[in-house]
Structure formats: C-alpha cells, structure tokens
Amino acid sequence: MIKRQHISSVGRQGLLLPWATFLIVLIFSACQSSTRETGSTDRFDPDKDYFPDKVEVRHSIGFGVEYESHYKKLRIFRHYNDLADTVSYLLLQRGTPAPETELPVIEVPVQNAVSMSTTHLGMFDMLDGMDALKGIEIGQYVTNAHVKEAVANGEILEVAPAGALNVESVIGLNTDVLLGVGYPNSQNDAYQQLERTGIPVLLNADWQETDLLGRAEWVKLLAVLLNKEKLVNEKFTAIEEEYNRVLGLVEGKTTEAPLTITGIALGDAWHVAGGKSFAYGLLQIVKADYPWKDDKSTGSIKLDFETVYEFGLKADFWIAPGSAKTEQDILNRDTRYADFRAFKKKQIYNIFGRYTEGGGNDYYETGVVEPHVILKDIVKIFHPELLPEHELVYHSQLK
C-alpha cells in the first residue's frame, strides 16, 4: 500500500505525450508494487502463517490481539467512567492482500511511526525499533540520548515543537501510524484531520492500568506493529520472572506497614492517589498503610489541605510530592510541611532518580518497560533489608 505519492511531469511544451503518460504509469505501478512487497515474500501464500510468533496479553486490561494468517486485529479497550468501548485496527502484513474490512488498516511492520509520548520511547528502544521512529512530539522532554541526537541531526522530526501538533509535518513524513496517549476514541481535531488523510491514530491507554506489569505489557502492542513478537516475548518473560521474584520477597513480610501519604497541595486543593489507582497499587504491594485505601477512585481524590495535613503529621512516609526534588522545594511551597513526621525523619521520596533539567523524566520513559526495577525501588524504600544491594534508580530521596 503506497500513500500520498504524487507524480507531476510535463513535456517541453507543458503537456504529457501519450507515450510518456503510459511510461509514467508503468513506473508508478512498479514503484507501488515494489513498496508493497517490502518486508514480505514475493508471492502471497494463503496457506502460510505469516506470524509464527504471537503475543499473549496476560496483565493488561487495555488491549488485545487476534491473529489470522496474514493480518492481525488489534483492539484497544476503554474501561473507565462507567463506559465500555473498543477501537479496532487491522494490521496487514506488507505485500499481502487486504481482506474486506471497515477497520483502519496499518501495514506491518510499521516503517514510519510518530510518537506523541515519551512513554513509547523506552518501548522502541527495548524492541530495537528506533529505525521506525520518524517523529516525536518535542525533544525537550526526552532523556534517551539516541533520540535526542537523532532530533538534533534531523533524523527524527519534532512534530509539535510549539505545543500544538503540526498535521502537515506528520503527513510529510509519510507516516504509517501516529501513536498517542489518551482516550481510545479521542475527538482531538488534529487527530481527526490525520485520520481523514488516511493516517491511523492509535492512542495508548496504558495509564488505565492498575499495576506495573499491566502498564509495561503495552510494549507488546508496539511489538505487534513492528512484527517483533519473538523479541518481546523473550524480553518480557525475563522481566516477569524478576518482577515475581521480588514480589515474592515482599509477600513473606509480616511487619506492620508504615502510614504513607501522597501528592502535595496546589493552592487549597490536595490531590492524593485514589484507592484503586495505579499509584496506590504500588503502596499496596509493599503493604504500606494508606488513609484512603478503601476509596474506589482509579485516579486521584481532591481533598482540602487541612484534611491531608492531619495525616501528614503522623505519616512515616511521603511519596511523590508533586514536582519537588529537594526538601527546600517543599518548604518553598509551605513551611508547615516541616511539621510532617516524614519530613523530620527524611523519608520523602519522589520519582526524579533520572531526569534532565529541560523537563525529561526517565520514570515515564525507560521506567515504563522496567517494572521490575521500579518495584525494587519501592521495596527498597519501605523494606530496605529485603534488597540490601539495590540502589534507587527511578526514585530519589529528598534532601
């Protein structure tokens, strides 16, 4: 399938001669055939299984994959706000005939992808798929050295350097698929413009997941786009095994869990992690006591300062206090934070173990596909005796 190819050619008098027109049609057809056969066999075999290696989704609630002989069906599920919805795509092996379908068609392996989130970059890196990445939102928030260099050299284009997506830039890259983050059926105007031009917009919803492995498993979605099933199965299995080994250490722990608070006040409002949220899921793993553990929210809960302040006076730990990287950053917000037990005990931790001054944070990049390392960080913070040799990677202690 060739997209957005344009041929303009005129004779000396500004008009195409009949034989010249015929020649151009032949050349165009040859190029079209050549492009379509890239990455596939010369002849379609209806009895062949073009995807001998397949992924199985075991942890994620957000997507699923079904395999046919020469195409896959990718489904992205919406599981929040009491709304169930599904957005589907047909992933067609290059060089094979498309079945009749009303689904958006994406030829695989994807060769020209644009990413609108740093959460995808660790996935591309893990799958040795950086060659397929042709555009990103903006380089300022990237920590990956290879990507930053590629942006500087013009090998990867920033498609939203001013904050708004440049639709023309994405079209100019002959993009196979644009990867974003958000609601699976987003009504974003720029995304709809792209879809009208034939560029599928695939929105990653890993933020819906309630545990680390579920979020990390979204790397398998990228793997099915790149035909990297064998590689992702090997790497993800190793991650699962290490994650479960560390999890086993914690499950044998019987000591009383320490009281913990999360977040930091913005004005008069303090948003803390909900009782069904991804953030609380981490605290639950290490058996930390939490004032709002019985809450049913999958996101955050909006509380007033005084409510959280009362718990802060007696909480042993304070996790993820907004953008604060130092104790002074916290005091600059409000000197009353010095009254907190966690502040006095120097047990405040945030997710700035790897960050760049420009605003990049590797927790939301490589950390996405290293759930076992994030788990080790959390275990180290709450139960350091279980992992005496581990040094914090994605988390840091505020000083």
DSSP letter string, 72-134: EEEEEEEEETTEEEEEEEEEEETTSPPPS-SS-EEEES--SEEES-GGGHHHHHHTT-GGGEE
pLDDT tens column, 52-107: 999 999 999 999 999 999 999 999 987 655 555 789 999 999 999 999 999 999 99
At 11, the pLDDT band (50, 70, 90 cuts) reads very low
Query: By mean pLDDT, which of 8-17, 129-138, 334-343, 389-398 is the weakest?
Result: 8-17
Q: Which residue matches tokens 């945030």?
A: 350
How high is the pLDDT of residue 381? Answer: 97
CB atoms within 10 A of CB 398: 20
Percentage of residues in the chain having pLDDT higher than 90: 77
CA 12 to chain centroid: 53
How high is the pLDDT of residue 42? Answer: 60
Mean pLDDT for the stretch of residues 206-235: 94
How high is the pLDDT of residue 81? Answer: 55
Distance (Å, rounded) from C-alpha 168 to C-alpha 151?
A: 18
Cα separation values, 285 from 303, 353, 373, Å: 24, 21, 14
Q: Which residue matches tokens 């260099």?
A: 149
CA 65 to chain centroid: 17
Mean pLDDT for the stretch of residues 245-265: 90
Query: What is the Rg, in whole angstroms, of the alpha carbon atoms belonging to the chain?
Result: 25
Mean pLDDT for the stretch of residues 117-129: 97
Number of residues assigned to the chain: 399
Give the single-character DSSP code of 326.
S
How high is the pLDDT of residue 79? Answer: 66
- Which is more confidently placed, 255 or 244? 244
Mean pLDDT for the stretch of residues 233-237: 98
Query: Rounded mean pLDDT of the chain?
Result: 88
What is 266-289 written as a DSSP string? ETTEEEEE-TTSHHHHHHHHTT-B
Mean pLDDT for the stretch of residues 194-205: 92
At 308, the pLDDT band (50, 70, 90 cuts) reads very high
- Helices 219-226, 229-251: inter-axial angle, 10-degree rounding: 170
